[in-house]
Amino acid sequence: MTTTRRDFLRKTGCLLGGAAIASTLDSFGMLNVCAQSGATDYRALVCVFLNGGNDGNNVVVPLDAEFTNYTNVRNANNAGLALTQQQLLPVNPLSGRQFGFHFNMPEMQDLFNQGKLAVVPNVGPLVEPLTRATYQSGTGKKPLQLFSHSDQVSEWQTSIANVSSQTGWGGRVADRTAGLNGAATFPQLISIAGISTFVIGTSARPLAISDSRTALSAVLPLNDAPSPATAAENSMRRAAMDRLRGYDSELVLVKAASDTT
């Protein structure tokens, strides 16, 4: 097929225009954030990662016609994993269907009924959409080391399912949004579970602190201090903590953290 000069110029123009749009799309998501940079309130994304220790199929259970299928699957081979309808805490989403939370989650039921909680099901690390047929035939791309618990835990934190990554999606978000924090030196990422992959970025580094139940004497130990600590030593630790809490209190993030701790 012969291509005229006009067709060549038209197609080239479309290609260059598409490339320009593609290079700009990456910045569009920042516009709304920048537009709100004058906000004085505080926002935080809190991530609770259970390290895979959660039976999601019993957290939110369908209470409509699908309940029979749920029961059959969960009780197959005498597994006895299904909950009864009487055990579940019912909720009615806008979809018109009815679901139930696990009986140990009444707080989640209350938050859902108040419109303060949403459930996002059927999510996980994938390279591409994968069906049972494409998985069994080997034509679909599978996550790296599928069925390896440790690898899947890592992929949840990196959000990259086809290769190993040394950075997490939390850390990469902090990399991209660091400029929005102005001159603040307080870390954007705070972990109370040590240094995990999730909070590692290319340049962003987290503040790893002890669990809130950790004694103050363990958080601020004094070198060569006898054990147990004396009242005077505990007073010194408290004074040191109060001084730390007072630093840069004019910064929204630091002030919010100080008010909390």
CB 158 within 8 A of CB 145: no
Residues 6+ apart with CB under 8 A from 237: 216, 217, 219, 220, 222, 229
Indicate if the pLDDT at residue 58 is higher than 80. yes
What CA–CA distance (Å, rounded) separates 63 from 42? 38
Query: What is the number of structural domains in the chain?
Result: 3
Per-residue pLDDT band at 11 (split at 50, 70, 90): very low
What CA–CA distance (Å, rounded) separates 63 from 212? 38
Domain-located, residue 131: no
Query: Which amino acid, residue 3?
Result: T
Domain-located, residue 62: yes
DSSP 8-class letter at 248:
T
pLDDT at 231: 78
Indicate if the pLDDT at residue 234 is higher than 80. no
pLDDT at 23: 34
Average pLDDT, stretch 126-142?
A: 93
pLDDT at 2: 52
The residue that leads in pLDDT, 100 or 240, is 100
Domain-located, residue 250: yes
What's the domain range around 237?
215-261
Q: Within 10 Å of residue 250's Cβ, how many Cβ atoms?
A: 7
pLDDT at 222: 55
**Peptide bond between residue 226 and the one before it cis (omega within 30 degrees of 0):** no
What CA–CA distance (Å, rounded) separates 258 from 247? 9
